[in-house]
Each structure stands twice: as C-alpha cells, then as structure tokens.
Chains A and B, each alone.
Chain A
Amino acid sequence: MTDNIILRCEGVNKLYKQGEETIYALRDVSMTVRRGEFLVLYGRSGSGKSTLLNVLSGFDTPTAGKVHIDGQDMEGMNDRQRAKLRNEKIGFVFQSYHLLPILTARENILSPLLIGKRPIDEGYFRDLCETLGITSRLEHLPSELSGGECQRVAVARAMIGRPAVLFADEPTGNLDKRSAGELIRLLKQAHEVYGQTIVMVTHDETLLEYGDRVYRMENGTPVLV
C-alpha cells in the first residue's frame, strides 16, 4: 500500500507576514495522494487551496513540514535537484495558462522535454494532441489561440513528460461553461487512459463529481468530503 503513495505531506504549515499580522495559509496539513488518483481540492477564495497546491508541487516552500513526491523529499534539495524533480515528476496547469508567448503551441508543449533533454515520443505527442483536439493549432502562437485552446495546450504541456503528478490550479477558471466542461472531460480522459495522477484545485462545485476523492479547504486545513 505504501508503494502506491505518489505524494505525501506531513505537518505542512505556511505563514505569511503582512506587517504585524501573521496569516496562516496552511495549518498542519497532512495528506497523501495515491498513484492514478484524481484528487480534487475545493474551497472558497482565500481558503488556502492554491497555496497547498503550490507547496505540494514545489512551487513554494512550506514554513514547516515535509513534502514527498514519488518517494523523494523536497526539503534539502538544491536548485538543480529541484529543477530535475519538477521536470520529471510534476506537470502544472495554471488558471491563466502561462504559455510562453514567443513559442508556438508545438514548442510550448515540447518545452519540458527539451529542457530536460529527454527524447520526444512522437506517437505519444500525436495521441495527446489528438485527444486534446489541438492538432490543427500546433503552429500557432498563444496570441492566436482562444482561451480554451490555450488551456488545452497547457494541459498537453503538463502531460507530455508523463509526470508522476499533474497539478491543475483552477484550470477552468478563465473558460466559459462549455469549454470548461470539455477541458475537465479531457482531463478525466487522460486520467483514465494514461493513468495520470491529478490534483486539481477548483471552486466550481459542479466539478467535484470528477474526483476520486474530494477535500474541502477550510481556513488552511483540508477536510475530506
């Protein structure tokens, strides 16, 4: 059972100081994510869900506590080791896409492999693009794509390296209802077809049904729903 755990955090706290005031974004968070699981973090704005996602993905460091991804403790890693971990084990989908504006969709998708100097699996790349419906848009710059297309490119970029965990921070936040529905179905499809572990943050209650497990964030603490 222990081998099946892909992500584990223990006693994670995150504090912010604003002048004299201390804000507890995360309070003693301990949780695990199993391999192949679709986990949804749900909560109101300011409840700490995005902060938790950033800490779990290594984009931010906890004030206290430990985070293990695929058996590797992120604490004490140097810049190079952290970069390697992010490149190989983590994929991230942002709410506002954050595609690199000077690169085409194809170049954006392949960036993680090129950064990590890993070989490109052309078959997987084609399948992924077909699945996400962006094959015809690969040579376009982000500025020439719609919001939904941008987010699908971002999903493809996050998945191209077959990461251990795919983190998605409000991936549908900038999309209309139809595009949002399409995207979440694609994510679910990727989860089922490729066995991708996904940790998704959302405030949209209609998306909760897609999660294998759902946590609700309350004042910096996740509560299993």
Chain B
Amino acid sequence: MEKSYIRFYALREMRARPRTFLPLFAIFFGVMLLMGNLLIYAQCQLTSDIAYYKVETQLILPDLTEEEVFLLRQMDFVRQAEAVETDRYTYTCYVELTEDVNTRVYAISDSLLEIIDRLGLDDRSDPYIHFLYWYHDQQTGPSEAIDRSRLFNGRYMNALRDGMFQPATISLACIAALMLFAVVVLVYRMKIEQAAKEYACLVGMGMSLRDLGKIQYLQGFLLLTAAFVPSQLLAIGTMKIVSLLSFRLYPEFDGNQALLFSVPWSTLGILYLLYLCAMLLGTRLCLAPYRTKSISAILSGSADKIPYVAKSSVKFLSRGNFDRYGNVWKQRNRRNVLPVMVLFFCLILFPAFLFGAFLGGIFDVRDALTDTGSRAVVQLHAYGISGDGYKGVPYTVIRELASLPDVDDVRFSYDYKVKGMTTLADQAGGYTPVNTSGGAVDCQQYMVTSFAGERPDTGEVWVCPDFPAEVGDTVTLRQNGKTVDMVIGKKHPGLTMRIPAYDKTRRIYEIAFDETLYPALYGEAPVMLSGYISICSSVPDGEIPALLQKIAVLTGDTKVYLNDHDRFLHGTIERSYLLENSFYQNRIGTIHSAFLCLFFLVQTLYLMLCAASVIGSTISFQLHRRRAEFAVLRALGLENTAIHALAASYTGLLFRWVIPVLYPVLVLFLYFGNPDAGIRTNDFGEKVIGALPTLYYGLGAYAVTCTVLYLLYGGTARYTSARSAGQMLSVPLAVSVKERE
C-alpha cells in the first residue's frame, strides 16, 4: 500500500469513480483549451506583430537635440545612430541596434525603454504617441513600398506598453481563472456531497479536515495538469500548423509569414499558476460548509439538504397518485437551474457563442483564397507642410484621381493641426502672440495629422488647454505677409503644449483648423491636402502596377521611396509625398485574420463536442445518483415507461432555461459590448443605425447556433437519459434495491 494515505486515497477514488471524474476532466479540458487558446492568441498576436515589423530593424527617434544624439551614440547596445537635421535645433535619429539585441523583440523594446529613460524623453512623448495612434490600426504587409520604419516605431511603442502591462493577457487569464473557479465550486460541491459520508468516516478514523482538503486538492491538481498539458499542446500545435500552412500557401511574400507564431511560455506559466490558485480556492470553499457540521450529522444524513421533498410533499401526497412523483423531480430540476446554468455558460454557451461569431471566418477564408471581394487600396502619403513653403497633393489632382476609370473611391482627411511657436522674450518685448485685438501667433512650425475624425468649423480654431486665450477669443495667424483671424471654438484635450528641451523659454502650442486656412494664408495657390489619401480600386492583382503608374503620372511622382529613411537620406525631396500600395498588406491582413477565425472555428467545434460529452456524463452521473430511488419506485409498482419519463425530464432544463434564456442574453451582451454600436456609442442616431447590423448578425447567429445546440446538445441529453434509464432498468430489482445503502 502507498506510504502516503492522502495520495493513495486520492488516486484510488479517481480510479474507482470514473463516472465522477470523467466529467470533471472534460470540463477542465474544455475550459482550459478555450481560455488557454484565447490567451495564446492574445500573446502570439502581439509577438507576431512585433516580430513582423522587426524587419529592417530601426528605431526612429525624432526631436532629439545634438547633445542627446551624442549620448545615444555612447550607449553600448547602439551600433549606429544616424542623425538628420529636421529643424533648427532638432534631429531625427535612425538607430541601428547591436546584433545580439536586434534579434530579440523584447530586447529591442527594453532598449527603447532604456533610451527613453536615459535621455529623459518622457516629457516629450507626443511624437511617440503621435506615431502610436497614427499607425496603430494600420494593416501592413511586405509589399515593396511599405513605410516600415515609421510603423516600426509605432509598433514598438505598442509593444513597449503591452509588454509592460499586457492588459489583454491579464484580463483573459483572470476570466479563465474565474471560469475555472466557478466550475470547480459547482462540480466539487456535487462530488463532495456525494461522498460526504465516506469523508465523514475518514474524519471519524482520525483524518483531519486539512488532510481531507489535501485529497481534494491533489485530485484537482492531477486533473488540472492532465487537462492543461494536452490541451495546450493541442492549441500550440494547431497554431503552429496554421502558421506553417499560411507560409506554404503564400511563399511570394518572401519570408514574411502571414502568421508568425512563437510559444508564449511565460504566459502559459502564469496561466497554470492562476488555475492552481483557482483550484485551491475552489476546493477550500467546497469543504468549508463541512467544517461546521458534526461527523454524526453527516453520517446520519441529517446534514443533507432536502428541502424539495418538504416543499413538494403536500402537493405530491394530496393527489394520492404516485404518478405525481414527477412534481418532485421538477422541483429538483429547478433547484439545479442555477448551477447548471453556470456550468453550461462556462463550457457550452460560451463556445457556442464563439461558434456563431466565427462562422464568418469561413467566408473570409474563401474570399482570401479566391481573391474575390478583395480591393486594392493605394495610399498616397503627402508629407510635410513646412514653414518654408507648402507641400501636399493639390485638391484638383485628387479630383482627377477620383475620375480615373479603375478608381472606385478616394478618401482623405480634412483635419489639420498647427504648432504655433513663440518665445517669452518676444512677449517681454511687447509682442503679444495671441490676443483678442489682432495679435498674432508666429507659425514657424507646422505639423499635419489626422485628428480623430473631427475638425473645426470654417473660420474656427481649436487650441490646446494651456493656450493663453479663452474660447471665443480671436487668434490671428500670420504667414507670408498674410494674416487670418480665427475664433477659438474649443479647447481640445487632444492638443498639447510642450516646452522644447533645446530652448526652455519657448512654448509650442498645438492648434487645429480646417482646410480653408491654407488658401487664406497662401493666396491663389490650390488647396493642398496632406496626410493619408486612400485610393480604392477593384482592379485585379496583376493590374495594380498599371494603376500605380497612372497615379504616379497624375501626381507627378517619379520615385517611390521604401521608407522615411530612404526619403530623408537618399531621396531628393522634390515632392514630399509617398505612394504606397496597400493591396498586399490588406490581403495579407485578411488572410491573417481569416486563418485565426478558422483556427477558432475548429477549436470551437471541438469544444462543442467536448461539451456534448460533458452533458452526457453529467446527466448520466445525476441519474445514477438516484438509482436506488428509482429502484424503490419500481418496487412500489411504477412502470418502466415512467422511469424513462423521469430520467428524460432532466433534459428539459436544457430546452426550457439554458438555450432560450441564456443564449439571447449572450447575444445582447455582444450587442452592448460592440464598440461601434450600442450603448458605448455617444451619438443616439449611431446607436440605432449601428446596432442594426449587429442585431441582424446576432439574430442570424442565434438561429444557426440554436439549431446546432438543439441537435447536438439536445440529442446528447436525450440519448444519455434514455441509455441511463435503460441501464438501470436492466438491473434486477433485487440488486437495485440492495444498492440503496
């Protein structure tokens, strides 16, 4: 016999009671597979993004002073730092890291963090944040003209932030642990109730409650480990296969895989520890009620809760008919509604919801593989409207672009931001930069960017909160001898004021205005639009170069620059804009997400099968718990068909409560949680209009998923009930009655 009785008993119980432990295993397996995969997804998505943009590794650090560039070059992990003067006092620095740092994504993040820390760049983070938000949602790919370097910077800021906090990972891990905790409490409570007398007997023989808890915890630990390892191996293996498959299918991307994947060991470790904690807490919580009960009470059964008998007895007996025994069962089933709902939510409806949500993945994959429905998007980047002149794409050219036969749509931004710079010395000299009576801001530096989809009205400016004037005041802007008066319409928190490190007496205020400012300041010159201009076309893949050529002719562009680095260092900046073919990047983005959808779809289908087996096991377990009761009923003369009916009544829970009640709740949750619609939208009109597709989608998903649920789970439930009842009825009555004790 085993030396450790705790281990011995725990293992023996697991072996002797497969009916109890198999559902537990299936539940754990299911929960961990699902939530573990979501975690892996969150982690590898991040890794994939970062690894992807590590191509041609560079860090671009704008707004550095000469002294800072010097310090930067002294850092041990910096192999080369090339500085390009971008203003009178500032440099943009292109940094190449040493090779040992360059190969590891997080090492690069750490280096960037260290640079920011050592140079004290925190207080002038607006360029970084600017990059971050500007490029955050941009899908990029390995096409020839991708502006990788800027994206690289933005992505690294992302990585830096996520690497430090990883909110998605942490929150998913917490959700997973909570789900596991709920399942442990529900299932272990059931299990401990079943074996309460045996445990009381063990305590009676001298086992402490603490040791009894160790038995439960050891079983949980074994189940957890047995479920965790294969489920995560399965998930990782699937992910790896998808990654390899995407690479094989699209070799033309020259080493840039559609989905890069690396195993997030640390995340898995954290997840496992969290699960262990949830397990420990869950088992402790289940045993807690027994600490206050005496051994004799548990052994005599007086500690059992049987309120349903008391409640139903009057109704039951008053009919004087044993057929009414079904009332007792109905009450029992109602008692089970809450735990069953929680169990089903954790393991069944959540996967079902995902199943519905990822149905669209099939169509995405089809589109991506057959190239139907994909659109070519050519982006025109117009850079740099500076104080020395104006550059960008004339509005007249944009009209011509829109009239090209292959072009479906041209989208561009109207919103601008300008930095008005002045000095305290100027103020001391009587020159008022901003006032309400015709003063002026000396606009020495301009910066153009998209501005969250908003823009000021004509003749109106928005200023940063620190701007030395109030809403309603007039600001006079001056350029090339011309002045424009504009009214301050709003102090916008998205605009900032900063003090440049190279001249602490200066203040740089951000001001946003609309496109009418340009013709007002520059006279007869055409309106120049700067920023991103997206030209959408449905031309086939092979005709993209021809379209690019047409656009290049119209815009007068003779050269496509690979990135900012080339543009600054090697290009002659005759025209300060950049053509970019976003077709490949969009396509690869679609493939990327389509594969992930497919991945989740496969996983979810597997989970649904897993859940069906859990339903079967749970129902079988519940019915066998009552086999002695069935035997007594049979002995009292109840017909076999009535036993079948009682057994089947358990499945009514699924049809009456769980699917019709919980699933719509989940769909509503989807609707309200949608960031583009529902209660999270500020505008009421958008709420209604934005909600419609979601609702239609929800209804469609609801219909499809309900059908699947009814067929899969309902069929399983009915089959198990019939089978269990058949098994019990096949046992001789004498044997069944003996099993009562």
Using a CB–CB cutoff of 8 Å, the interface residues on chain A facing chain B are 50-51, 54, 59-61, 79-80, 82-88, 90, 92, 94, 96, 98, 100-103, 107, 110-112, 114-117, 157
Contacts and interface: CB of A to CB of B under 8 A. Distances in A.
A68 B197 CA distance: 26
Contacts of B295: 54, 59-60
B474 to A, nearest CB: 81
Contacts of A86: 203-206
Contacts of B299: 59, 94, 98
Contact of B741 (A51, A61, A96): A96
27 contacts: A59-B204, A59-B299, A82-B208, A83-B209, A84-B206, A85-B206, A86-B206, A88-B206, A101-B16, A102-B12, A102-B13, A102-B198, A103-B12, A107-B1, A110-B1, A111-B5, A111-B202, A111-B205, A112-B206, A114-B1, A114-B8, A115-B5, A115-B205, A115-B207, A116-B206, A117-B5, A157-B205
Interface in B282-300: 291, 294-297, 299
A110 B13 CA distance: 17
Contacts of A100: 198, 201-202
If over half of B's interface residues share one DSSP class (helix, strand or loop), that class is named, otherwise mixed; here it is helix
Contacts of A87: 205-207
B504 interface: no
A106 B295 CA distance: 24
Given A83-B208, A87-B207, A96-B741, 14 more contacts: A51-B296, A54-B294, A59-B299, A60-B294, A79-B208, A79-B209, A88-B206, A98-B299, A101-B16, A107-B1, A111-B202, A114-B1, A115-B205, A115-B206
B737 to A, nearest CB: 14
Contact of A101 (B5, B198, B209, B297): B198
A114 B206 contact: no
Interface in B7-42: 8, 12-13, 16-17
Given A86-B206, A110-B1, A112-B205, A61 B294 contact: yes
Given A54-B296, A59-B296, A60-B295, A102 B206 contact: no
Contacts of A79: 208-210, 291
Contacts of A116: 206
B5 A114 contact: yes
Name, among B17, B296, B741, the residue most crowded by chain A CB atoms within 10 Å (CB to CB). Answer: B296
A107 B13 CA distance: 13
Contacts of B17: 102
Contacts of A83: 203, 206-209, 211
B1 A98 contact: no
Nearest to A143: B739
Interface string B208-230: 11110000000000000000000
Nearest to B297: A60
Contacts of A84: 206
B291 to A, nearest CB: 8
Q: Which 4 A-B pairs have the closest CB atoms?
A: A87-B206, A102-B16, A83-B208, A54-B296
A75 to B, nearest CB: 14
A3 B210 CA distance: 33
Contacts of A92: 204-205
Contacts of A51: 296
B408 to A, nearest CB: 72
Contacts of B211: 83, 115
Nearest to A154: B201
Contacts of A96: 741
Interface string B678-708: 0000000000000000000000000000000
A12 to B, nearest CB: 14
B240 to A, nearest CB: 41
Contact of A98 (B8, B201, B206, B294): B201
Contacts of B296: 50-51, 54, 59-60
A80 B208 contact: yes
A76 B714 CA distance: 54
A60 B302 CA distance: 13
B58 to A, nearest CB: 65
Name, among A59, A84, A92, the residue most crowded by chain B CB atoms within 10 Å (CB to CB). Answer: A59
A115 B210 contact: no
Contacts of A60: 294-297
A144 to B, nearest CB: 12
Contacts of B203: 83, 86
Interface in B56-107: none
A101 B5 CA distance: 16
Interface string B470-513: 00000000000000000000000000000000000000000000
Contacts of B207: 83, 87, 115
Contacts of B294: 54, 59-61
A74 to B, nearest CB: 12
A21 to B, nearest CB: 16
Contacts of A112: 205-206
A200 B6 CA distance: 31
Nearest to A174: B741
B652 to A, nearest CB: 32
A72 B197 CA distance: 27
A50 to B, nearest CB: 8
Contacts of B202: 100, 111, 115
Contacts of A107: 1
Nearest to B739: A143
Name, among B5, B201, B204, the residue most crowded by chain A CB atoms within 10 Å (CB to CB). Answer: B204
Contacts of A103: 12
A82 to B, nearest CB: 8
Contacts of A94: 201, 299
A85 B297 CA distance: 19
B297 to A, nearest CB: 7
A92 to B, nearest CB: 6
Name, among A83, A84, A112, A117, the residue most crowded by chain B CB atoms within 10 Å (CB to CB). Answer: A83
B392 to A, nearest CB: 79
A126 B107 CA distance: 69
Name, among B5, B12, B209, B291, the residue most crowded by chain A CB atoms within 10 Å (CB to CB). Answer: B5
Contacts of A102: 12-13, 16-17, 198
B282 to A, nearest CB: 21
A7 B12 CA distance: 36
Contacts of B13: 102
A115 B207 CA distance: 6
A82 B205 CA distance: 11
Nearest to A99: B201
A44 B1 CA distance: 43
A102 B31 CA distance: 29
A124 to B, nearest CB: 17
A59 B1 CA distance: 28
Contacts of B1: 107, 110, 114
Interface in B269-310: 291, 294-297, 299
Contacts of A50: 296
Name, among B1, B202, B297, the residue most crowded by chain A CB atoms within 10 Å (CB to CB). Answer: B1
Contacts of A59: 204, 294-296, 299
B502 to A, nearest CB: 71
Contacts of A85: 206
Contacts of B198: 98, 100-102
A59 B13 CA distance: 24
Interface in B174-208: 197-198, 201-208
B668 to A, nearest CB: 44
B730 to A, nearest CB: 18
Contacts of A98: 197-198, 201, 204, 299
A100 B12 CA distance: 11
B13 to A, nearest CB: 6
A211 to B, nearest CB: 22
A90 B207 CA distance: 12
B383 to A, nearest CB: 75
A114 B198 CA distance: 16
A4 to B, nearest CB: 25
A98 B298 CA distance: 12
Name, among A50, A85, A86, A114, the residue most crowded by chain B CB atoms within 10 Å (CB to CB). Answer: A114
